[in-house]
Each structure stands twice: as C-alpha cells, then as structure tokens.
Structure 1
Amino acid sequence: MEVKRRRDSSGQFSDNSDHDCEESSLKCNECGKNRAIMARYSEGYGTEEECGQSDPQRESDADADVEDADTRQQIVGSLQRISSRKRRRQRVTRQDTTESEDDGGQSRQNHRWSLRLSPHRSPSRTILEESVSQVRPLVICHCNPAEVSDLGISAVLEFAYTGIITNLTRGSLPQIQAAALYLGVPRVLKLCKEEKERQEKNDSEMKIKERNSGISAEEQKKVSLQAIRKLWDKRVGCDVEVEAEGRIFNAHRVILSASSDYFRAMFGSGMKETQQESVSLLLMGAPELEALLHCCYSGHLLLGWGCIFELTSTALQFQFQTALSLCLNFLQQEMDAYNCLDVAAFAEAYEMLDLREMAEDFTLRHFEDVAVTEKFQDLPVEKLKAYLRSNCLCVKSELSVFRAVVSWINADTMARVKEARDLMRTVLFPLMTFTEFREVKVITSWPRVSDRDLYESLFEEFCTNTFHSYSDFRTYLPKETLVLVGGEKITENLDKRLPCGEIWFSNAFHNHVGLMKRIEWKKLGDLPEKPRFCHSAKVMGGKLYVVGGRHYYGKDDMMKCAYRYDTIQNNWQRLADMNEKRGNFALLVVDGKMLAIGGNKDIEENIESVEVYCPITDSWSFVQPLDQSLSSHAASVWNGEIFISGGFDSRYQCLESMFLYHPEKGTTYLRDMSQSRAQHCMETLKDCLYVAGGVSGVGGQLFDQLACEIFDPVNNCWCAIMSMSMPHVSAASAVLEGKIYVIGGYCHEDYSDTKVIHRYDPAMQHWENLCRTPGSNTHIAACVLAVPHHLRQ
C-alpha cells in the first residue's frame, strides 16, 4: 500500500474539490488502478510520514482509569454528537475526511481522526457540521479493490462512532475483518476473532454486548475520547488556535463545535472565523479556557470554590453545556452553610432560577447554621425579611430567629438599628419561654433607638399571648412530606380492629411554645380496591408504589397485587402482580428497580424468595433467595448495598442477625445485633443504619424492645443510642430532612395502640415526642414523597 498526497504544480497541497480529486491522473503507481481518496483538514495533521505510517494500536492505547459519573455523562454526550454529525453529513458542504471506493463508486464522508481512533470511539461532545477552510486530498491506494468493501468500512465506522458493530454476522465477518485489517483497527479485528470463535462453537444466542468481550459500548467510547485527548496533547490534527488573554491554545474545530454551541455557530454558519487559523476570545480568561478545553477532551473538570463561579459563568456564556452541567452539579452537591448565600446571589445575577431556588431553599432549611456565618451579615435587609417571613424557615425555636436578627444588626449597628422594629415583627415572641425571653433585653443597649419602648412593646406582646400558646405557632413546610399508607386501627367502640385504606401526608410542621411540636396532616386519598395492612410502600421516580399485604384476617387474605400512584395526574395504575403473595416483607428501591424480600404468604408460612420489579417491562422476576425463610424483618440500603436485620424465621423464632444481601450472590452475614428483634424499623441516615422498636424473644417469650442501636457498616460494629420511651411494634418509619420518624405501632404487653410519632435527631441524640397519628396505628407503610403544591395549600 502506498499513501500519497496530491500537490499542485508549485509543490503545495491543492484546495481542489472532491470531484477534482477523481481525475484519471490519480492512479496507483504499481497497478494503475483508481485509488481511494480521503480529504482532510489542511492544518495540524503532522507530516506525511506520520499520517501514512501511524500505528493504530499505539494511538488507540488509553488510560484505563475509571472515570466518575460526571465524566461518563460527558463521554456519552460527546460521541452521540459526533455520531449525529456523521449521520447528518449530507447537509455539510465539506468535511475533514472523505473516503471513496472504485468498486461500485461508493463514497463515504467521515472524520479523519475518527478513523485513526476507531479502535476506540469515545465521547467528545455534540459534533458540529462545521465548514472547513482548506481541504487537501489524501490518497490511499490498494491493489485489490475487493479487499475493502463498503460493508466492511461501514462496520468500522460504526464502531468508531458508537463502540459497537450491530451487523457482525457470519456473512459479514470476512468483509469487516478485511476492512479492519486494511485500515489497521486492532480492536475490530479482536471482535471479529471472538465472533468467529463463537460461531465455531455454534453459540447463536450471544448478545451484542457479549461480543464486545465484556467491554460495553460506553467503555469503548471512553477509550476513544482518551485517545482523542492524546492526539490533542501531541497537537496532532489541531486545525485552529484559540487565544485568550495572550495565551494560545491549539484545538480541533470539530471538538470545539461538539462541545460548545458558541463554537458550533462560529465554525458552522459561514462566519469569518471559519476561514481563520486563529480565533481571539476577548471575554474569556485563559485559565477558564484551559479548563474547558481539558473538559472537552477528557470529560474531567477540576472544580473548587476558588474557581467555580468563573468557570460556571464562562461555560454559560460560551455554551459549553456539559461543562456547565458539571459546574451546576458541583454547586448543588457541595453547597453548605458557608457558601449557599454566594450561590444564591450568583444564580440571581445570571437568572438561573432552578439553582437560585435550590440555594434559597438550602438557606431556609439550614437557617441556624447560615445565621452564624459572616456572609449572613452581608444580606440586604429585604432579603433577610423575606427569609424570616418564609414558611420554609426551619428553626428549633423563636430564640434562633431573634439571635439572627440581633447578629445582623450588630454587624453595623449605627446604620441598621433603624430596621430593628420591622425585623422584630418577624419574631414570634409569644412562642418563647420565660427563660428565652430574658435574652431579648440585649436590645436595650442599641444606640439611636427608643430601646425601652421597643423592649416594652415586645414584652407586652409576649405576655398577652402567653395563655394562648396552642393557637400560636410558626409554620414550617418541608420540601417533601411523610406519607402514611393503609394499616389497621381499632374501631371507636374498641371492639375490633379493621383494615384501613386511607393515605395521609404531613402537610406542615407547627412549632409551638418551647419544645412542643405538632404535625398538620392532610388526607391524600384512598387505596384502590381493597384496604390493606402488613403491606409495603416505596417511592420510585417520584411515584408511590404500594405492594402486597393482606386485606383481612383469613388464611387466604394475603395479596400479591401492586399499584402505582401518580400525584401529578392523581390516578392509580394496576401493575403486574408479584409471583408470590407476601405480607410482613421488606420492599426496597435499588438502581431503579424494586425488590420484595421474604415475608409470609399466609399466617402460618414464611418464605425465603426475593422478587425484583422492573418498571420498564412491568414485570416481576425471581432472583437469588435468602438462605432461610424470613418475615417481619427490616431492610435498608446503604451505599447501594442491601442490609437486612432480625425478623422471624420459619419456626417464628426472633433473630438477632444482620446480613448483606445481593440479588446474584446471596447472603453475607455480619455482626449480630445486641438483642434479637422482629417487627422493628431500620433506616439509613448518613453513614449508619439505625434500628428501633419491635419485639425481642427470650425463652420463647416475646417482649417490647425499647432499646435502640446503630450499625456502622464500614467497621461492622454496633453501638447503643438513647432508648425509646414507649413501645413501637409493627410501626412505620421514614427519614425526612436528616431525622428519623417512627410512626405508630402497638404495645406487645397489652396490645394497646401506640398513637404517637417519635422523631430522632442525630445532632441532638435524643427522641422527640411529636404528635398523634392521623388515622391507622399498626402495620402502616410509610415513605417520603413530594406532594404537588396545589394539594398542600
């Protein structure tokens, strides 16, 4: 094979069109036959020898380090755009690479560097159909025109752009193999070899991803992007210089266009920069350009609070969408009490409504922490008033609000003391205790204000409302709500228990005088068809799922039906039934699927089976069962792993076990709990799993378990925390805004209902007695759900 470039009479590369390149003078020096023609960018592709003798294997080798989730997002978006550019090539007047065949006159346009990288075709970003200023022909000659077919080249190009070959069959294998061998694509050759071996073994059921030797299309794309970055590091194929603040950076137009809509318009709409070898950016800083270019080629963006606002504004201005997404993710995930006000101000300046809403919501829900920072003292007075009047303001008591106002005024007393009266109106002094109100006297030290009059008016307000404390409260609206589903309750005349089909949600929290709290409950609706108890409920994809349970007390009253409730549409949908009836089982959401674990299928028999529900196919399928039958156990997810504690075995013995469960690998036992436990609750909060309530078994007898403990999954150890003041057997539980709620249940000793809700605050390390349950008390299912705003008014 011989590779040549066409030159004009002066010895320079000519700027002829593709049609000009197909004249009779382009013949192979050895056989005289027509040669395949490839057009390419005129700038930055290296020497003739480099282009003709490049080692595909060397160029395709890439670092195998695993990239994070944000990098994968960059990778997927990049190659999809590059691939879309190839699909839309007929709309482009000229591209950087064309390829033609003399057998049948087939012609194909592609990106030159994509062919060189076809061992890996990875994400770069939306690739633009940009116009190219100077295109010079590159001629690839082969003596046997049948050696490389259109089908073979198509397969190689498909792999280069997508990471897979969909038409790798027995009939196409020789042609694809020939094209890969001719073009020097070792990874395609490897796929062909593996496919041939499979065919010889008559393995006709192999899936496409299995053909990739365990390497997925996304991983193939990742390696391609890494290889593209290597070309950029070596300045191979760079066809434009970008200048910012006097620094010059080399890049590929196609990569810039794929990564930025700004450059896409610049290079693809006939602007003068289309013909220029250098582009100056007057409004972009050199550090920002360097970071964004690195992101375009690697999928990584090094972020920190020292540069995040500059990078975000630059990515927004120059429309680097993936980089902007990474910046916004950083701002949302790394936000804390010390920078949330900066994020809110930045979002307001750039009219980023979603980010602003999130930052202000964070400020309100962490107000006590934010109020002690220096940034808080710089708040404009109107913004401070808006925060203090908001129903989303989360404070333990009115003393916290008062202290925040005093702190803000003391930051510039002479200028701000005039705002004291208006700001004090946002403090609900009647909700203070006498001890708390003593601190209010500090305002008498402020200058230039009738301190005594202000203090006396506040004291009068405090005293006149003291005896109406239950009607005075500060309302707090959490972003999400506790939802209670079904259960059973005792009739009004206390003669029997009945299943319940009501669904309630916590609309608001009321802070009364001192530590007194109350939850405002509203009814969301009723369960479809029959009421139920001993069931499970979870939220997945913003929708409520209710599964299994029993509708009455007979042996055959267990159910296997499942329903989904859409709060936006306010409708129920009947889903596929489970394969087995289940009650007193655990239901978890893991990786976008639900797992129904164990339970009992009637009042006498526990089961060990586990089923997984796929919402896409609306189907249940069995996975690896538990190693023993189990019911009334508790399960929770930590770091993507499933932890299961306690429960009753097949002989209804109360267990003290704690183990890991994997749908494919099965059970791995961990350190036991300090005592046996069943009909209890277990929730994940931060880095620990909290266990509370239930019953314990000693000598064949069951008794109420008031002790609580937490499990450290990293160190595989347990430790005790504050015990509960009353029993919660068969209670519901959920985590809302960093606090654990244990709802209802009953007392095993006398079978009386526990009609209260307890909340555990890890920061305070104690249980709070909140209020009574709104409806059912036992065998309830609880979860956390975002209820539409119109239902909360």
Structure 2
Amino acid sequence: MEAVQPHLQDGHQQDWKREIEEKKRRRSWKERVNCLILRKRRSGRYSGDDGPEEEEDEEDDEDDKEDKKLKDALKGKEVKEREINVQVENTDGRNENVKRGQWKEINKGKTDGKGKRVKPKTDIWNKEELNDSDENLLHQQEDFTTEDDGDILGEILVKTYTKHHYASDIFNTLTELRNSCVLTDLTLSTEDGRTTVCVHSAVLAAVSSLVRDTLMQREETKSGEGVRRRGDEMDPEIRSWSLSLGPDHVDHVGLRVVLEFAYSGDVTGLNGATVAQVRAAAHALGVPRVLELCDRETQQNTSSINRAEGMKNHAAEQMEISLRSIMELLLGKVGCDVVLDAVGASLPAHRVILAACSDYFRGMFTHGMKESRQYTVALPFLFASELEALIGCAYSGDLRLSWECVFEITGTCLQLQYEPALSLCLDFLRNEIDPDTCLDVASFAKAYGMVQLLGLADDYAQRHFQRVSRTTKFKCLPATQLLQYLNSHSLCVSSELVVFRAVVAWIRHNPEERSKLAEQMMRTIHFPLMTFKEFEEVQATDIWAQHRLAPLSRRLSVDFSSAAVPASQCRVYFPKDTMVLVGGDQISEDFGSRRTSRDLWFGNSLRNHAGLVKSVEWRRLGEMPEPSRFSHEVAVLNGQLYVIGGRRYYGRDDILNSAYRYDPLESSWEQLSDMRERRCCFSVVVLGETLCAIGGDSKPGCLQSVELYCPATNSWSFACPLTTPLTGHAARVLDQRIFVCGGFDGTYRCRASMTLYHPESGSRRLSDMSGPRAHHCMEALGGRLYVAGGVTVTAARGDADDTAATVNQLACETYDPVADCWTAFEPLAVPHVGAGGVVLEGRLYVLGGSSHRDDSDVHMVHRYDPATRRWENVGAMPGPNTDIRVAILGLPPQLRS
C-alpha cells in the first residue's frame, strides 16, 4: 500500500521532502538514533538557501565525515539529557493551555560493575526483533558511550508532551469502532447461545483476566507451533477468535454493563436490580474492578443520583488504568495482531489501537487492501525510531520531542495522518519556537502547506527580528522571504540600524549574487530616521567598497544630510495585542478642577520617528457604561475585559461596587453582579477562571476583605481575608501564585511588605522591599515582579519629631520569588503616582499618573526593556492620566486597519 502523501507546495518547498528521504537512504536507523541523541543542530538545516552552490547540498561523504568527526569528538564524553513534562489541554479551535512541570535531568550514562558507562535501554521492543546487523550497530552505539572522560559536552533538551484527556478520547473512538463492528476480533457468547457480542480483544483484556490469560495461552501455543509467520496471508485463527463464558449464569444485562465498563470506565447500568447479573458476568470474565463496584453498590445506601455522579467522576480514572493495561499488553506482545516492518526494526502492535489514532492505518486495515490480511506489514519509508515514538503515543498519549527530531516526526505524522501525535508535535512547534528555530518552522510549514503554523513562525521571526537576524539560518533566507519581513508592519526593531545590519549580514553571505539586490533591500530601510551616530556606522561599513554599490552609498549620504525628515515619517509597528486604557481622571489646564472619564483608548501601533523619538498611536475605542470612574480595577479573562469598582468622584459616597464586562468581538457591554463591598484603590487578579478583588478603600475605611468572582455563576463570594487592611497596594499573579506588595495599612502607614496570598489559606510574609511604597505599579515579567512608580514616606529633615513626609517614589526594584530577594534597577526620570502599568511583548510600560509634589498630571508613557536595562520615553497619553487602569486585550482586525 502506498503511503498517503500530504499536499506539498510547488517549487523549492519540494526540497524539504527530498532532504528527509535522502537522509533516510543515507543513514541506517541505529546511526540516525545516534544523531538524534548526540548531534547538535546544523545551521540552516531546514531553511531555503540561495547562497553559494557549494553550500546548498551536502554530499554523502561530507555527511559521513561529519558523523565520524562528531563521534570522535564525543568519544569519552557524557551526554546529558534534560526532560520536561508538558501537559496540553486541547480546547476549541486548537487553543492549548500548556502547564509546564518541573525540570529534571536524566543522566544517560550509567556504569556497570566495572565502572564503565553503559547505554540504558530506551526501546520498548526486545532485542530478539533485531537482526545481526542491527545487533552490531547497537553494540557500536553502546561502545560509543561506554568510555568516561569526565567532561560534559552539552545537553539535549527533550520534552514529554501529554495530550490531556487522551484516555477518554481514544476510548470514545474505540467505542465507535466497536459499534460499527470495525476490527472486532473477539466474539463473546453465553453458554445457551442466546447472547453473542463482538469486541476488541485488546480492550477487553485490559479489564478481564480471562481474556488476557487466554490471549497469553494463544501466544504461547502459536509460537510453539510456528503458526505466526512473516508471509503475505494472515492465519484466520490469529485474525479472529471466540470465547464462551461457560456455565456461570451470564446474561445480556450483566455482559452489557461489563463491556460498557471496558470501553468507557462507567457502569450506568449497575443498580440494585442488576447487581447480581453484573456480578455474574464480571466473575465469569474475571473483572475485579467491576466486582469491586458491585460490592460498593451492595453496601451503599446513597441515592442513585449521588451514585451516578460518583461513577461519572470515577470513569476517567478507570479509563486511564485500562489504557495503561493495554500498554502492558503491548510490552508483553500479548494479543498483538500486526508487526510493522520499518527501517531498522519490526514493531508489534494492535491493529485497533493504530486504527483509532491514524486514518492511514484505518484505511489500510479496513478497506480490503492486502495489508488487512497480512500479519507483517512492510513500511520501508519509515524509520523504526519514529514509528516507535508514534506507537508509544497511541498507547499513552505521551510523546517525547526535541528540536533534533520534531520535524521528522511531524512529517511522519502527516504521512500517516496520525492525529494525536500530530497535535502534540504542533504544540511543541508553537510553544518551543525560538529565534534559532523559527525559520526552520517557517520553511517546514511552507513545504507542507500548514498556513496557521507558517503565520505563527513568520510572525515570531518578525517580532524577534533583531535576535533572529543574528542566526546563521537568517543568512540563508530567500530574497523574497526577507523582503516580506522587511516590508511588514509586524517587523519589530528598536532602530533602523538593526535593519541595516541585518541586510548587510544577508548580502555578505553571498555577495556575488546578493549585491544585485542590495538597492532593493536598502529601500526598506528608513535612513533619515537614524541618528548621526548610527548613520556614521552605515557609512563606515565596508560593503560600499563594492563597485556596484558605490553610487547607492553616495545617494544615501546626500539624502541623509540634505533632506529634512517629515514629522509623519516613521516606522510603524503593530503589536499582536493592544494596550487598552480605561477611565481615569484628568486635571484642567488651569488646575481648577478635575474631570473623570468613561473613555476607552487603545494603542493601535508603536512608532519610531527620527532619532530616538518614539510614540504610541492612540485611537478611541468607545465608552464604558455610566458612571465614569477612576481608582478602579480592570482584568482580562477569556478575551473579555472586566471593569470593577473605583469611584466616580472624591466624596465618601462616590465609591463604587459595580462591575461590567466588555466583549471586544461584539463591541458590547454587560452589567455583572455587584461586589459585596464598595472598593477603590484595590487590586484585581485573575487566578484560573476566577477574579480576585483584594483589599482597597471604602466608606468605613481601609478593607481587609477579599472577594472572588465566578463568571459561570455571575456571583461574588468572600475568601480568606488579608492579615492586615490594605489600600493603594499592588497585586499580581506569577506562576499561579498571588503576590501582594506595599500599600497603606489600616492606620494609613505606607508599607514595604511583600506577601504571598491564597484565597483559602490567607497570607504569608515574604522579604520586604527596600522602602515603603503605595499607589505604584507591579507587573510580572520574565519570572520576576517589577515594581515602579508610586509614593514613599521619608523623615522630614530638620524636624525634631522626625515627622514622616510623603514624596514621589522614583526608585524601582524587581523581586525574585525563587531567591525571595529584591534588586534595584534604573529609576524613573519623572514621577508616576497612580499610573497604569502593563507588560507588552516583554517590556514594562508605565502610563500617566501624577506627581505627588504638586498634584500635576504626568502625560508621558515610559517603557522599560530588561534587555537594555533602561527606560525610554514612548510618547504622550491620549487624554486621562491619573488613577487610570490598563489591560492587554486582543481587538478585532477591523478596528486596527
């Protein structure tokens, strides 16, 4: 049977498939396993290259030399492998919620009794399946890792991705196959012959000791008689068989409940009226888990509703147990009815499990093809290492992936239409993409016509352009792809010099050919936006020494020195998500009054102007419902904006407890249930699917209470209170933990405290900041918490009573939750009291606010970049400035066109 080939794009994308196939022909499986474990990534491995001819293709002898050289280099070294478990929960539209576990290191070199290192077994197949040549390769591989020289050359990052609820998914598919009588190989019948059902022996053997023991006896008998052979036709006795349940009074009622349990983990038909029939069937088949449920049913006096609910919650756990039992059958080669003969090894499996996971195998085994009658199926286009990984995924929902193997395994998944493993491969490519691999991902996605993955990879490359442009793979980009990046509004660069350096590096990789495209590439660079110092570097670049580029250099120099830069000229960059400003309050020009706001503004684009000038392009999004408010809180949950509490003006009765939700896709507002208490100057965080409103100021004074909002029930409930009342504090979630920082306490003393809060267990004190702070911003960024702005309290100089004075806080510091310590970073240049804070694309923004010294508004937006460790001015606010709140929200494209 021919492999089902995925659709490939025309042109150079065909090189991708040819490259994989060529590597498969050049390398044996065991040699390739060595490469997957030991080799470092090759530069430009998957990127299209229009460079020199000698760099386009690797000759066979070059490949062999490199492998030999690598082996010689690694001989006597210890290779360490790092593994991380990642659980992936699939939701609608392929949105994944990835929960990362703790790192753990696996030392792959273990020692034998003589102190030599031996390679641990990683295959789940016995060595008897290997021929003599395979054994020799395996011994070579072991010899290669036996000597110990002490030093570690490097680490290979391997991550285990797990498909959440996989057991439920595969058993649902198996149920569908059984209902359609597809690949059912076991016929169960009662002694009287009145009840006959067809099932999958592997599924029933996972719960039934009778079926499992019978399968094992059949394996031993057929092995001794030599019935199993590697011929074309499959022995009918191996293909299907029957089993009579004997004289135990088994009827269709009890048998139906046992089979329901085998395929779903549930026993909805078990009740007081049927327990005896179910017990008889479970006893006949040897199903101890159902017998235990029968005993529980007999002893329980709870209502049928409660029992049904308990069984429902228990079903998922039972399916997990059953899936592990089927995996044990595979490891023991019990009931395996097919052997897949791949390059390097022959791997046993159960046809029904393969068919449940792969449309390729389902078509092969169920549509009358010759492979449906064969015990051994030849798959000469697959390596056993890749097939082994996919078979393991079919039985467990787990897939071990690294950048050394993910492209090959993904290609195999597409070829075999292996959906569970394919979804995990795509999760890996989306979640683990980085500057070194994004161009590989883009090339792969383009070759296989994977539009969404291609868009993600291209977008990543443009938004991390400076780091990507420093990689070797960048120099291998085709000219059309580079021009696409340079002309895109998604190109994120700090200055035009970054673009110039990238273009020069690309041209230098193949100057003979690419210098012809230099003028076209240079037109994408806005040279007038550079500073004089930056343009001096442009002029000093030796690339202009080439004869054909000299006229271009002179023209650029004239344009830069003579032409004035129009105010409208800038490089426009559109972030994927947008900053949305909500409400706030603004002082009049004559300082005579203040005006509260209902406005919503969003930052449509970020702009680089001439020199170091930057700005945000603000657009009005609309208005929130009455009343206008400030000192409120905002949060984003499931793509929707929540606006909660605050105050309408400065009176005691102006504090609010109302809450609204904004849907940006529908551009609609919905009023929600009011909070239990009125709050302003408080904090709201998102913890899971819940909003948590913490502390704040209210009519009776500073609050100690905490409220939780459940969107599903549209209700607020009190949680464990704070240890002390707080207002003007800041709270953020980092690693699913709530951190609460600073603020004023019940006596309105400014605090330097940092606490860890949990809605059920309350607060735990952590290390204090270097000084007290309130009305500040705190944001999570890069595994740390960044604190900026606000006010602090100092002792007034010369005061005999050492009276405390409240002043603007310009100092900034960051908190490391692992070390439980604070570190200062560059202070702000101007005050930001009651400012909005947010993190956008790895940088901290502090927006607006006021100065405590004279109550004047601060109209500026400042941005801190942890990479450069400095603040920069990115323009002015659009309107309201003080006690404003900011959120990151995804807006529909039509608003940003």
TM-score class, shorter-chain normalisation, is 0.7 to 0.9
Question: What is the Cα deviation at residue 205 of structure 1?
Answer: 9.0
Which letter maps to 1:702? T
Per the normalisation by structure 1, the TM-score is 0.84
Instruction: Tell me if 1:238 matches 2:336.
Output: yes
Listed one character per residue, the Cα deviations across residues 600-648 of structure 1 (whole Å, up to 9, x for unaligned) are 333x423223222233333333332222322221111111111111122
The match for 2:504 is: 406
Listed one character per residue, the Cα deviations across residues 347-390 of structure 1 (whole Å, up to 9, x for unaligned) are 11111111111111111111111111111111111211221111
Question: What is the Cα deviation at residue 497 of structure 1?
Answer: 1.4
Instruction: Tell me if 1:560 matches 2:630.
Output: no
Which letter maps to 1:141? G
Instruction: Tell me if 1:141 matches 2:246.
Output: yes
The match for 2:80 is: none
The match for 1:251 is: 349
Q: Is residue 208–residue 285 contact of structure 2 (8 Å, CA) maintained in 1?
A: no
Question: What is the Cα deviation at residue 133 of structure 1?
Answer: 8.4
Question: What is the Cα deviation at residue 284 of structure 1?
Answer: 2.5
Q: Which structure 2 residues correspond to residues 634-713 of structure 1 after superposition, within 5 A? A: 634-698=730-794, 701-713=805-817
The match for 2:87 is: 69
Cα separation, 1, equivalents of 2:760 and 2:298? 30
Question: What is the Cα deviation at residue 492 of structure 1?
Answer: 4.4
5+ residue gaps, structure 2: 1-82, 89-159, 210-235, 795-802
Q: Which among 769, 784, 788 is matched to residue 888 of structure 2? A: 784
Question: What is the Cα deviation at residue 101 of structure 1?
Answer: 4.7
Which letter maps to 2:732? S
Question: What is the Cα deviation at residue 292 of structure 1?
Answer: 0.8
Using the TM superposition, name which of 96-105 and 637-646 deviates more: 96-105
The match for 1:598 is: 695
Q: Is residue 189–residue 243 contact of structure 2 (8 Å, CA) maintained in 1?
A: no
The match for 1:53 is: none
Question: What is the Cα deviation at residue 256 of structure 1?
Answer: 0.2
The match for 1:723 is: 827
C-alpha spacing 1:692/1:170, structure 2 compared with 1 (3 Å): farther
Cα separation, 1, equivalents of 2:705 and 2:279? 47
Instruction: Tell me if 1:739 matches 2:858.
Output: no
Which letter maps to 1:69? Q
The match for 2:870 is: 766
Instruction: Tell me if 1:113 matches 2:202.
Output: yes
Listed one character per residue, the Cα deviations across residues 737-761 of structure 1 (whole Å, up to 9, x for unaligned) are 0001111111112111111111111
C-alpha spacing 1:91/1:193, structure 2 compared with 1 (3 Å): closer
Instruction: Tell me if 1:510 matches 2:607.
Output: yes
Which letter maps to 2:715? S
Question: What is the Cα deviation at residue 150 of structure 1?
Answer: 4.9
What SS is found at the alignment partner of 2:830?
coil
Q: Is residue 195–residue 211 contact of structure 1 (8 Å, CA) maintained in 2?
A: no
C-alpha spacing 1:279/1:205, structure 2 compared with 1 (3 Å): closer
Cα separation, 2, equivalents of 1:705 and 1:717? 20
Question: What is the Cα deviation at residue 134 of structure 1?
Answer: 3.4
Cα separation, 2, equivalents of 1:769 and 1:763? 16
Q: Is residue 194–residue 211 contact of structure 1 (8 Å, CA) maintained in 2?
A: no
Which letter maps to 1:664? E
Question: What is the Cα deviation at residue 97 of structure 1?
Answer: 3.3
Question: What is the Cα deviation at residue 189 of structure 1?
Answer: 4.4
Cα separation, 2, equivalents of 1:652 and 1:119? 69
Cα separation, 1, equivalents of 2:297 and 2:707? 34
The match for 2:410 is: 312
**How many positions carry a matched residue from both structures?**
710
Listed one character per residue, the Cα deviations across residues 535-563 of structure 1 (whole Å, up to 9, x for unaligned) are 21122212222222223333233323222
Q: Is residue 826–residue 869 contact of structure 2 (8 Å, CA) maintained in 1?
A: yes
Q: Is residue 75–residue 222 contact of structure 1 (8 Å, CA) maintained in 2?
A: no
Q: Which structure 2 residues correspond to residues 508-547 of structure 1 after superposition, within 5 A? A: 508-547=605-644
Q: Which among 270, 277, 287 is matched to residue 185 of structure 1? A: 287
Q: Which structure 2 residues correspond to residues 86-165 of structure 1 after superposition, within 5 A? A: 86=175, 89-92=178-181, 95-101=184-190, 105=194, 107-118=196-207, 134-143=239-248, 145=249, 150-165=252-267
What SS is found at the alignment partner of 1:498?
strand
The match for 2:168 is: 79
What SS is found at the alignment partner of 2:641?
strand
Instruction: Tell me if 1:426 matches 2:518.
Output: no
Cα separation, 1, equivalents of 2:278 and 2:698? 55
Listed one character per residue, the Cα deviations across residues 449-468 of structure 1 (whole Å, up to 9, x for unaligned) are 34432211001111233x43
Listed one character per residue, the Cα deviations across residues 141-165 of structure 1 (whole Å, up to 9, x for unaligned) are 134x2xx565554444444333444
Q: Is residue 544–residue 553 contact of structure 2 (8 Å, CA) maintained in 1?
A: no
Q: Is residue 478–residue 508 contact of structure 1 (8 Å, CA) maintained in 2?
A: yes
Cα separation, 1, equivalents of 2:254 and 2:774? 63
C-alpha spacing 1:768/1:573, structure 2 compared with 1 (3 Å): same
Cα separation, 2, equivalents of 1:119 and 1:770? 68
Listed one character per residue, the Cα deviations across residues 330-350 of structure 1 (whole Å, up to 9, x for unaligned) are 112221112211111111111
Q: Which structure 2 residues correspond to residues 9-28 of structure 1 after superposition, within 5 A? A: none
The match for 1:301 is: 399
What SS is found at the alignment partner of 2:452?
helix
Which letter maps to 1:584? C
Q: Is residue 605–residue 616 contact of structure 2 (8 Å, CA) maintained in 1?
A: yes
Cα separation, 1, equivalents of 2:309 and 2:764? 30
Instruction: Tell me if 1:623 matches 2:727.
Output: no
Question: What is the Cα deviation at residue 99 of structure 1?
Answer: 3.6
The match for 2:114 is: none
Listed one character per residue, the Cα deviations across residues 477-516 of structure 1 (whole Å, up to 9, x for unaligned) are 1111111111111234432112211111111111122321
Cα separation, 1, equivalents of 2:414 and 2:508? 38
The match for 2:708 is: 612
The match for 1:124 is: none
Cα separation, 1, equivalents of 2:457 and 2:206? 43
Question: What is the Cα deviation at residue 520 of structure 1?
Answer: 0.5
C-alpha spacing 1:357/1:208, structure 2 compared with 1 (3 Å): same
The match for 1:34 is: none
The match for 2:157 is: none
The match for 2:856 is: 752
Using the TM superposition, name which of 240-249 and 505-514 deviates more: 240-249
Using the TM superposition, name which of 641-650 and 489-498 deviates more: 489-498
Which letter maps to 1:547? I
Which letter maps to 1:138? L
Q: Is residue 261–residue 320 contact of structure 1 (8 Å, CA) maintained in 2?
A: yes
What SS is found at the alignment partner of 2:513?
helix
Q: Is residue 191–residue 246 contact of structure 2 (8 Å, CA) maintained in 1?
A: no
Which letter maps to 2:87? A
C-alpha spacing 1:623/1:400, structure 2 compared with 1 (3 Å): same
Listed one character per residue, the Cα deviations across residues 388-423 of structure 1 (whole Å, up to 9, x for unaligned) are 111111111111111111111111112221112111
Cα separation, 1, equivalents of 2:745 and 2:253? 61
Which letter maps to 1:726? V
The match for 1:16 is: none
The match for 2:124 is: none
Cα separation, 1, equivalents of 2:240 and 2:322? 24
Question: What is the Cα deviation at residue 85 of structure 1?
Answer: 3.7
Q: Is residue 95–residue 132 contact of structure 1 (8 Å, CA) maintained in 2?
A: no
Cα separation, 2, equivalents of 1:439 and 1:72? 46
Could you say what the CA RMSD is over the residues aligned between the two structures, in angstroms?
2.9
What SS is found at the alignment partner of 1:690?
strand
Q: Which structure 2 residues correspond to residues 45-60 of structure 1 after superposition, within 5 A? A: none
Higher relative contact order (CA 8 A, sep 6+): 2
Question: What is the Cα deviation at residue 84 of structure 1?
Answer: 4.4
Q: Is residue 191–residue 244 contact of structure 2 (8 Å, CA) maintained in 1?
A: no
Question: What is the Cα deviation at residue 684 of structure 1?
Answer: 0.6
Cα separation, 1, equivalents of 2:698 and 2:265? 47
C-alpha spacing 1:110/1:505, structure 2 compared with 1 (3 Å): same
Question: What is the Cα deviation at residue 705 of structure 1?
Answer: 1.4
Q: Is residue 283–residue 291 contact of structure 2 (8 Å, CA) maintained in 1?
A: yes
Which letter maps to 1:139? S
Per the normalisation by structure 2, the TM-score is 0.74
Q: Is residue 414–residue 447 contact of structure 1 (8 Å, CA) maintained in 2?
A: no
What SS is found at the alignment partner of 1:613?
strand
Q: Is residue 489–residue 778 contact of structure 1 (8 Å, CA) maintained in 2?
A: yes
Q: Is residue 679–residue 729 contact of structure 1 (8 Å, CA) maintained in 2?
A: yes
